[in-house]
Amino acid sequence: MKGSKTVVIGLTAVLIGSASIMIPKLIEASSEKKTLTIAHIHNDSAPVYQSLEDFATGVNEQTGDHLNVEIYPNGALGDERVMLELGANWCY
């Protein structure tokens, strides 16, 4: 159980750090509303999902109408392989 708490804390720290850099640039770049889509393979009772929900709530509140975070759990957008491929294609 200790390992999963460490992962959740680490994931939350990474998300908060990334958001503090990324969100102001997204808001400055355009006045239109942006959507950040986050997908994962865990169910809605997993600690990862709970952390992402907290992250989404904070971002949505902090940015008002400028940035909306959508979370897709349970592999709704594909399995691990598909999501890794989507992420790899997005980076290039």
Q: What is the pLDDT of residues 3-32, one digit of tens each?
A: 545 445 555 556 666 665 566 665 665 667
Domain with 76 in it: 2-91
Q: Identify the pLDDT of residue 66.
A: 80
pLDDT band, very low/low/confident/very high, at 37 (cuts 50, 70, 90)? confident
Contacts of 77 (CB under 8 A, 6+ apart): 37, 39, 83, 86
pTM for this prediction:
0.59
* Tokens at 4, concatenated: 């999963």
* Tokens at 32, concatenated: 């239109």
If one counts the domains in the chain, the total is 1
* Tokens at 25, concatenated: 């640039």
